[in-house]
Amino acid sequence: MALLAIDFGGTRTRAAWFSPEAALQARAEMATPSGPADAVIARLIELAQSVIPPGERPAAVGVSAPGPQAHTGRILHAPTLPGWHDVPLAARLAGAFDAPVAMENDANLAALAEYQRGAAAGCDPALYLTISTGIGGGAILGGRLFTGWRGLAIEPGHIKFPLPDGRILSLEDLASGTALGRMARERLAAGSVPSSLRTAAVIDGKTVGTAAMAGDALATAVVQEAGQWLGLGLVCLIHLFNPQVIVLGGSVARLGELLLNPARQVIAGYLTDPAFNHPDLLRPSQLGDDVCLIGAALYAQASLG
């Protein structure tokens, strides 16, 4: 029997129908609606129903969701879902589709997908980082998804760094899309350096990234700073996991070398032993926007035993 996969993201929500071998058959997506949980879940079910062939029923439903507690099947709290509190999403979907639901953290499922089908194939340990609105991560250790004692690992976005002004911020406050927007707004307010961003209607990760790719000096400096913080976070991951590969996904990772060059310089400068490093350590995600959908399908497939 076939599989239903749902990627419930902070910005976009996707659903897809997969063959029993987890090959993608049909997909649909929408902007993630905002509002109370009941209304959002109703829209989610509608979207998923649109990819199910007439007369079919999924053998299992794989769900990718934000937050370290996703594996419980409940959305306890997620910065991208204001107002949601302890919502039993998996149970609601199980009822709607009359099928068992396997729900996991989005970045954990992305790690699984890149390991089984993408840039991390054959690599162990394999780490995955998604850098978009926030920063999430997943780890494959010894051929299996590693989630720690209570299923909460890994959360690289919450590596902490003290700032010169005394604040202690998370990696995701310093290198995510959200961080790019904040840092650009701060630099614009603090000086009078000319920048194409001064006339931009919105200053966020997307517009800062676009301006940097177009050569805007202020935006480039912001991306460079984010890349250095990312590098410092990666130094931590490398010393702790000695990974064979770190796959970088998410919208901010698409800035490519603009972000990765400063990160690579920090890595080369701060590893205690050069044997931790190798030229192919950082790799771009190969599965793109569907990475969590594919991970959810693989996870649903595995849940059937």
Which residues contact its own copies (rule: CB under 8 A)?
68-69, 76-77, 124-125, 141-142, 144, 146-156, 158-164, 166, 168, 170, 232, 235-237, 239-244, 270-273, 275-276
Nearer to its own copies, 134 or 205 (CB): 134
Nearer to its own copies, 155 or 216 (CB): 155
CB of 193 to its own copies, least distance (A): 22
CB of 212 to its own copies, least distance (A): 23
CB of 38 to its own copies, least distance (A): 24
Nearer to its own copies, 52 or 240 (CB): 240
**Measured between alpha carbons, how far is residue 302 from residues 21, 55, 60, 116 in Å?**
11, 24, 10, 12
Nearer to its own copies, 66 or 118 (CB): 66
Nearer to its own copies, 147 or 261 (CB): 147
CB of 157 to its own copies, least distance (A): 8
Q: How far is CA 302 from the centre of its chain?
A: 21
DSSP string, 112-140: HHHHHHSTTTT-SSEEEEEESSSEEEEEE
Nearest to 259 by CA among 190, 267, 47, 139: 267
Nearer to its own copies, 192 or 272 (CB): 272
Nearer to its own copies, 4 or 140 (CB): 140
CA–CA dist 109, 90 (Å, integer): 16
Give φ, ψ of 302 to 5 degrees: -65, -30
CB of 140 to its own copies, least distance (A): 12
Question: Do 107 and 97 contact (CB within 8 A), yes or no?
Answer: no
CB of 127 to its own copies, least distance (A): 10
CB of 188 to its own copies, least distance (A): 23
Cα torsion angle, 160, 163, 167, 173, sign:
negative
Name the pairing type of β-strands 24-31 and 126-131: unpaired
